[in-house]
Amino acid sequence: YWCMKGTCSVSAGSIVGVGIGWGAILTALINFLIAASAIYFLIVLPFNTINEIRHRRAQAQEREQEQAVSDEVALLTEIRDALVARSPEK
């Protein structure tokens, strides 16, 4: 035990004074680390992985949409040019 204030003495299994039991602190610290690591590896890490996969899919869909729009623009440009070439000049 470590005394916080004054002198501590142990008599008949009880502490006289304000003492801190290092065993209890160490046990609480180890329990906290075990719980924190379990929460991190079982909840936080999988959610981050899922969010990263969703983000990649969203980016791929955006690229596909941009490509589709550019294909449509190219096709419409060809149609416009063909109509202009076909129409009689005034």
- Give the separation between CA 90 and CA 81, rounded to whole angstroms: 17
- Expressed in percent and rounded to 5, the helix, strand and coil fractions of the chain are 70, 20, 10
pLDDT grade for 90, boundaries at 50, 70 and 90: low
Model confidence over 21-40: pLDDT tens digits? Answer: 788 899 999 999 999 999 99
pLDDT digits (tens, 9 = 90+) for 46-71: 999 999 999 999 999 998 888 777 88
